[in-house]
């Protein structure tokens, strides 16, 4: 058996790479990876600690209508943050709606411009850095 070591990247389908970058890079502050090869379709790669998010500008087979209002009841990508209140302020100022986690932990859910659900979980800096380095 070959062991699975870690998550390398997660891919998200987007309708417009520029609009998605305005959200992920400009609003959330993720770093653009500049060495993305030409894959025959538009997109972008973003660095998140030691992992990546790949934005794929391809037709989505998933309906946007009918998705749960609370992203915790939908498939979602969870990201660690140090300052949940600061993120909530930034999202609110940008007009991005969000809901708080129903688990009791310090987390919130929102959707990107393409209705992909995202969870932001507040972690201590040492835990977030260990996770980015592959430690958990």
Band (136; pLDDT cuts 50, 70, 90):
very low
What average pLDDT does range 42-71 have in this prediction?
Answer: 94
What average pLDDT does range 104-108 have in this prediction?
Answer: 96
What is the pLDDT, as a whole number, of residue 28?
98
DSSP string over 36-95: ----SS-EEEEEETTEEEEEEES---S-STT--SSGGGS-EEEEEES-HHHHHHHHHHTT
CA neighbor of 72 nearest in space, from 34, 36, 111: 111
Q: What DSSP character marks residue 23?
A: I
CA neighbor of 21 nearest in space, from 65, 57, 51, 49: 57
What is the pLDDT, as a whole number, of residue 46?
98
Band (126; pLDDT cuts 50, 70, 90):
low
Per-domain residue ranges of the chain: 9-59+69-132
Angstrom distance (rounded) from CA 55 to CA 71: 19
The first and second tokens of residue 27, run together, are: 């609003």
What is the pLDDT, as a whole number, of residue 129?
54
- Entry pTM: 0.89
CB 113 within 8 A of CB 23: yes
Band (135; pLDDT cuts 50, 70, 90):
very low
What is the pLDDT, as a whole number, of residue 131?
54
What is the pLDDT, as a whole number, of residue 128?
55
Domain 9-59+69-132 falls in which CATH fold? 2,3-Dihydroxybiphenyl 1,2-Dioxygenase; domain 1 (3.10.180)
Output the furthest CA–CA distance in the chain (Å, rounded): 49
């Amino acid at each position: 058996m070959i062991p699975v070591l870690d998550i390398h990247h997660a891919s998200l389908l987007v309708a417009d790479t520029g609009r998605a970058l305005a959200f992920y890079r400009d609003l959330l502050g993720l770093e653009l990876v500049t060495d993305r090869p030409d894959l025959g379709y538009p997109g972008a790669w973003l660095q998140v600690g030691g992992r990546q998010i790949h934005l794929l500008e391809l037709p989505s087979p998933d309906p946007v209508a009918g998705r749960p209002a609370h992203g915790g009841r939908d498939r979602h990508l969870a990201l660690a943050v140090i300052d949940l209140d600061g993120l909530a302020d930034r999202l609110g100022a940008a007009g991005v709606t969000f809901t708080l986690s129903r688990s009791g932990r310090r987390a919130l859910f929102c959707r990107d411009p393409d209705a992909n659900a995202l969870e932001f979980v507040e972690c201590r800096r040492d835990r977030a850095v260990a996770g980015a380095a592959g430690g958990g």
